[in-house]
Structure 1
Amino acid sequence: MKILLVGHGYVGSYLLPALVQAGHDVSVCDQNVDRLAGIPNAMRCRYQELTITDLADFSVILWFAGHSSVPMSLSDPDGALANNCLDLLHFARRKQFNSRLIYASTASVYSVMMSENGIAPPALDESETRLDPVNPYDCSKVSMDALARCFANGITGLRLGTVCGMSPLLRPELIFNAMNIAAMRDGCVQVRNRRSYRNILFLEDLAHYVLRIIELRHDLPPILNTGSLNASIGQLADSIAAFHGVPVIDHGNALTYSFQMNCQKIQSLCGAPRPISIAERCERFREAYHPELQAAS
């Protein structure tokens, strides 16, 4: 299958070898030339510059090139709107009618304020989006999810949980990654807002779903919740600290958001990934983490 992978960052650099190993013919588009060193079939440009002709040969386009966090979107709200919604929508309309575009949406569109009494928020499904986004990131993502239904075809948004795990281009600030790094470097796990909930998505599970989705021949739903597990911040911190044998330092609570997802739909389409314990995921992270290499990248 001829695939265009848009974005060779934290997610894209993990997916690329998985796609190649599965036998797909993959081209990679990224505006950061340094990220494409040594990559065959590299398209060194902004995806916004790709034309109808450029996209004509691809049966699947995977888009992981957005403003990928709330802080990034807060610092550049107009850019977030353009990149995560308007430019992406125009891009989707330049692909071939029969090709698929699978793009990164976000689970944070299900967010509610953290409960003061520790009650977990409901695990929401794809039909239960909250249409009251409170930041440019969520607003740009939920707008794209809505517009794609009417103004594009063959397009599916993956509402990603909080993505975590080792990648060639690691993001050390993401919650699971940050907790493991702190445990190894500082001898403790720092935690705030223990009663806040997240849906966590490990990169290997994302790869499992992407590889299955691109093989499906029937029409896909416009939105698919994509996550590995629902857990409170406190539960995650305790599990990671227990693996490393270090204490948890609790910094109390602050105003924050909380969400959980129901991922039954994507599991029914693709099958669930092999269950892996938090301890095993920590072990894999510890084995692959090399501070000197991560600093260089």
Structure 2
Amino acid sequence: MNMNAAQPARENILAHYKENGFAVIPNALTQEELDYLNGIVETSLREAPEQWHQPIEGAVGTVSLLAQYPLEMDRFIRHPVIFPLIQEVLRGEARFAQFDFRDVTADRASSSQMHFHRDISYYGTIGGKIYDPDNPYISTYACVIYYLSDVHECCPAFCLVPNSHTFSSLDEAKEKLGDEYREIPIRGKAGTAVLYNITTYHTRKGGMADCKHGRRTMHNYHSRASSSPLTNWVTVPEALALSDDHDTRMFYSQWTPNQIKYARDHYTKPVPAYYPVHMIK
């Protein structure tokens, strides 16, 4: 990818997503937004390292920043540049699913390779569509990965196989796609966003041994109102889940048993009666 690429027009972004199952949006975040997010991450890594999990395949990560900065993070979860694209891809049904930050330092770059995988709902094994053939964008879930640092040729990079969402394994994708099989690493400047269907096979390519940069990312997952929740461990702060704003409440309304228990045990406002608090142990 051209490190100085301009942002495509909305219709071109959506056309690329429809054709390939992903789209790259350069300059999705401004320098001011990048400075703000990197400042929060640096402070958290320095002052609250216990809130970051130990390195997994070279990356540390945290989900704690949404709880600490709910209104501030909501601005990025429903970002004015990217969220309208997410709503289009998810047919106007976008719901919050997961939000986290990940960091790979330069010294761990070469050991940060992941295996190819695809993300399927926690509930996907008990029913529900993995992908939606009736949606022109095929997506029941979508994720945006934002690069918070420049991703050079030597850096770990998000990588995916376009249009691999219908296959049960990477080997099957290689066989059935034939000459169209491609593994595409995404590189670009800080502020680049990658919007993709999460059931597309993807990975993190490891960096080179002499990498001087590492990689920092923000990951923003969305479900659809008509899909099962993505996980049963994510929790949403009260300021968002019980917001006075109707659209905010609806966006954060895909509650799981774990979320209901969390709300019952931690929220100051009563949990709405339509969430079955009494049924959750």
TM-score when scaled to structure 2?
0.26
Q: Which has the higher helix share?
A: 1
Greater relative contact order (CA < 8 Å, ≥ 6 in sequence):
2
TM-score when scaled to structure 1?
0.25
